[in-house]
């Protein structure tokens, strides 16, 4: 799923404020 959902993966990786 990671390969097909790069944007979602990126959003999940981003540190949250």
Partner 1 sequence: LYPHSLRNIDELCASIVRSHRETSQYRVEELHALRWKLFNREEIQAYQSKSVDEMWQHCAIRLTEAVQYVVEFAKHIPGFRMLSQNDQIALLKTGSMEVVLVRMSRLFNTENNTVFFDGKFAGTEVFKSLACGDLITAVFDFAHGMCALKLTEQQIALFSALVLINADRPCLEDKGRVQRVQRSVEFGLTHILHRDNQESLMHKLYQRVAVLRSLCSLHMEKLRWFSQRYPLTAHSLFPPLYKELFA
| Residue-wise DSSP of 1-17 | -TTT-HHHHHHHHSPP-
Task: Write each residue from 1 to 17 as x if it is in contact with partner 1 (CB under 8 A), else as -, in one continuous string.
Answer: xx-xxxxxx-xx---x-
Question: Minimum Å distance from CB 6 to partner 1?
Answer: 7
How many residues touch partner 1 under the rule CB under 8 A: the total is 11
DSSP helix, strand, coil percent of the chain (3-state; round to 5): 45, 0, 55
Q: What backbone torsions phi and psi does residue 2 show, to the nearest 5 degrees?
A: -60, -40
Question: Minimum Å distance from CB 5 to partner 1?
Answer: 5
Interface residues with partner 1 (CB under 8 A)?
Answer: 1-2, 4-9, 11-12, 16
């Amino acid at each position: 799923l990671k390969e097909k959902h790069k944007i979602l993966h990126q959003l999940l990786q981003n540190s949250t404020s």
